[in-house]
A = this chain, B = another copy of it.
């Protein structure tokens, strides 16, 4: 169980869009080149981000992508959900409901449709993770990077994209 590389590509790429002015945008080509990623694959990633309303696209030459919301309103979880969809990390196939006793005989009380406890626990566990990821926003990330990354590096990125 692992998140796809798309999530990594998305989160890393979005960092470069944070400080881009409203009317400006950055193209896939530059984002891919700067990070050493596949251009076509990264475009798939941004397709998903756009569909989720995280970024908006500018078509045509000199076009590209920009954030569609305020960075403080875009959480890690938003990004993950945009990429991975809404399916839970654990999906009980309800093997519990298919046990031998039930197959053989008839069992009225077996028809009670209670939620599988195991499934419930897994879903609650995911909720813990989700809450944490929802609390971390792109705005927060940007601040953290400003503090921990050499300024030379931040400047280099800024220079590359302008």
Contact = CB atoms under 8 A, between A and B. Distances in A.
Interface stretch (A18-26, A58-66, A151-159): A151-159
5 contacts: A2-B88, A34-B100, A35-B100, A109-B152, A129-B129
A99 B2 contact: no
Contacts of A91: 2
Contact of A153 (B1, B36, B110, B122): B110
B148 A117 contact: yes
B133 A76 contact: no
Contact of A133 (B96, B110, B125, B144): B125
Give the bracket for the number of chain A residues in contact with chain B: 35 or more
User: Chain copies in the assembly?
Assistant: 2
A118 B11 contact: yes
A41 interface: no
Given A5-B93, A128-B132, 15 more contacts: A1-B2, A1-B89, A3-B90, A34-B99, A35-B98, A35-B99, A36-B99, A99-B156, A107-B153, A110-B153, A114-B148, A118-B141, A122-B133, A125-B129, A128-B129
B1 A4 contact: yes
